[in-house]
Amino acid sequence: MRLEELQAAEQKLLLPTYERNPLLVTGGEGVFLQAEHGVRYLDLLSGIGVSALGYAHPVITAAIQAASASVLHTSNLFFHEGQAALALRLTEASGLNRAFFCNSGTEAWEAALKMARLYGTMRRGEGAALGTRFLAMEGSFHGRTMGSVATTHKEKYREPFAPVMPEVDYIPFNDVAALEAAWSNEYCALLIEPIQGEGGIRPVSQAFMDAARAVTQRTGGLLVADEIQAGFGRTGKWFAFQHYDVAPDIITVAKPLAGGLPLGAMLCTDEVGRAMQPGLHGTTFGGGPLACRVAVAVFDEIERSALLAHVTEVGAYFEQRLAELKQRHPQIVDVRGKGLMLAIELSDALDAKAVLEQMINTHHVLINRTSETVLRFLPPYILKAEHVDLGIAALDASLRHLNEKQLQAAAQTGGTIGD
Ligand SMILES: *Cc1c(COP(=O)(O)O)cnc(C)c1O
């Protein structure tokens, strides 16, 4: 089917959930996607931070082939070798002790919320004074299921589905004074993204992270870090919280975990894990043999090819090239992020959507935007400096083109007024 036919069919058959770009993906290899008519796109988004090893990576292909020749699904009623193998790697890499596997980011976050409530229930049973409320951040995004939207700040995602889960409060991002004023033992958990993703690639400050650990420790509440976008190598460390000298009680992981297959995980300490009992939580598909085997293969490949060091290095180069671009284009007002989780903020004078269209349609470079003004880059970890140069050249040309167009428009309006 061609793009136009697909668009017509989807318009009739699917819920209008997405505003898709008019691009029909037909294949991919490395950091490039192939689209209709053989057009090649440099992918600086990797399916919203999912395809960490790019496309058609031989390690992933081999793991899928091996797993698919055996049992694809066992349910969680029986043992298979994958979950313990993956949990061992994730616990060693994170310093947390226990894992629960599921199928997506939002499910990992739901597991974290339930775990925090469960821990609170257990601690109250042990005589502790610990409430049931959650304290979350303005600008947060934690997913689309009911608990996740209840802890997601943007009203657009929450209000149409009201009433969502109650007992969630928000404080301004990175506001230490607001945190210290708001926090009390009414809260069972403080919810943060070490680097806000959908909120515009905003890293938590060291001071805020320190305060977050200190206040929660004071009351016995939990520090819960959503690492679904920033975790599993994206920032050059296994987990984004490791850039700070702070250990959370619970973290969630998903997007790049199985290199493109759906898989999520919630990791917690032994202390928190004490609260779980058989039958209190579960999933039919979560942590299946295929997804776990592929995730272990991705993990091994990140280690074998020293991709964490590579992400740090190529990420720093990317950031430096963006900073150079900022010198030449006053429309770029900020460059931020860590490793290969980067963004530029544009001045209000420029529409991020117009830049995006230039990048995709004219220069065949895939990126996306998190708001009207923020362009986001989440490329595969295998990105090379030469790919960064291609992306930067495309961005440079896109900004110059839009600038000239604006100047022309201004000149024309000026002329009309002058007449
Ligand atoms: C994407 C994302 C989620 C939701 O993950 P899904 O797999 O889409 O459910 C939650 N938290 C963060 C920080 C994310 O980036």
pLDDT tens-digit series, residues 346-360: 999 888 999 999 999
pLDDT tens-digit series, residues 159-194: 999 999 999 999 999 999 999 999 999 999 999 999
Beta bridge partners of 203: 195
Identify which of 410, 328, 402, 381 has the alpha carbon closest to the alpha carbon of residue 30. Answer: 381
Please check whether residues 48 and 79 belong to one and the same domain: no
Q: Measured between alpha carbons, how far is 243 from 228 in angstroms, rounded to an integer?
A: 16
Out of 282, 304, 326, pick the residue that ends a domain.
304
pLDDT at 371: 94
Out of 250, 275, 304, pick the residue that ends a domain.
304
Q: What is the mean pLDDT of the chain?
A: 96
Out of 289, 304, 319, pick the residue that ends a domain.
304
What's this model's pTM, rounded to 2 decimal places? Answer: 0.97
Q: Tell whether 419 is covered by a domain.
A: no
Region 319-329 average pLDDT: 98
CA of residue 166 to ligand 1 center, whole Å: 21
Answer yes or no: is pLDDT of 77 > 80: yes
Please check whether residues 79 and 20 belong to one and the same domain: no
Q: Tell whether 62 is covered by a domain.
A: no
State the helix-helix crossing angle for 307-328 and 385-418, rounded to 10 degrees: 20
Q: How many domains does the chain have?
A: 2
Region 77-98 average pLDDT: 98
Please check whether residues 299 and 316 belong to one and the same domain: no
Please check whether residues 272 and 310 belong to one and the same domain: no
- What's the CATH number where 408 sits? 3.90.1150.10
Please check whether residues 138 and 284 belong to one and the same domain: yes
Q: Tell whether 418 is covered by a domain.
A: no
Region 277-300 average pLDDT: 98
pLDDT tens-digit series, residues 221-257: 999 999 999 999 999 999 999 999 999 999 999 999 9
- What's the CATH number where 100 sits? 3.40.640.10
CA of residue 410 to ligand 1 center, whole Å: 41
Q: Which two tokens stand for residue 303?
A: 């280690």
Q: Which domain holds residue 395?
A: 3-57+306-413
Please check whether residues 226 and 168 belong to one and the same domain: yes
Q: Tell whether 180 is covered by a domain.
A: yes
Pocket test for ligand 1, best of 46, 51, 103, 106 (most atoms within 8 A of CB): 106
Please check whether residues 12 and 125 belong to one and the same domain: no
- Going by pLDDT thresholds of 50, 70 and 90, the confidence category of residue 419 is very low
Task: Return the half-sphere exposure (C-beta side, CA atoms, 13 A cut-off) of residue 93.
Answer: 25
8-state DSSP, 298: H
Please check whether residues 322 and 375 belong to one and the same domain: yes
Q: Return the SS3 of 134.
A: strand
Q: Measured between alpha carbons, how far is 99 from 111 in angstroms, rounded to an integer?
A: 11
Q: Measured between alpha carbons, how far is 200 from 193 in angstroms, rounded to an integer?
A: 11
Q: Measured between alpha carbons, how far is 56 from 38 in angstroms, rounded to an integer?
A: 17
CA of residue 342 to ligand 1 center, whole Å: 17
> How many Å separate Cα 293 from the centre of its chain?
22
Please check whether residues 311 and 370 belong to one and the same domain: yes
CA of residue 415 to ligand 1 center, whole Å: 49
- Going by pLDDT thresholds of 50, 70 and 90, the confidence category of residue 415 is low
- Going by pLDDT thresholds of 50, 70 and 90, the confidence category of residue 1 is confident
Beta carbon of 227 within 6 Å of any ligand 1 atom: no
> How many Å separate Cα 150 from the centre of its chain?
18
The atom number, within ligand 1, closest to the CA of 198 reads 15
- The span from the first CA to the last CA of the chain, in angstroms, equals 52
Q: Tell whether 65 is covered by a domain.
A: no
Please check whether residues 314 and 255 belong to one and the same domain: no
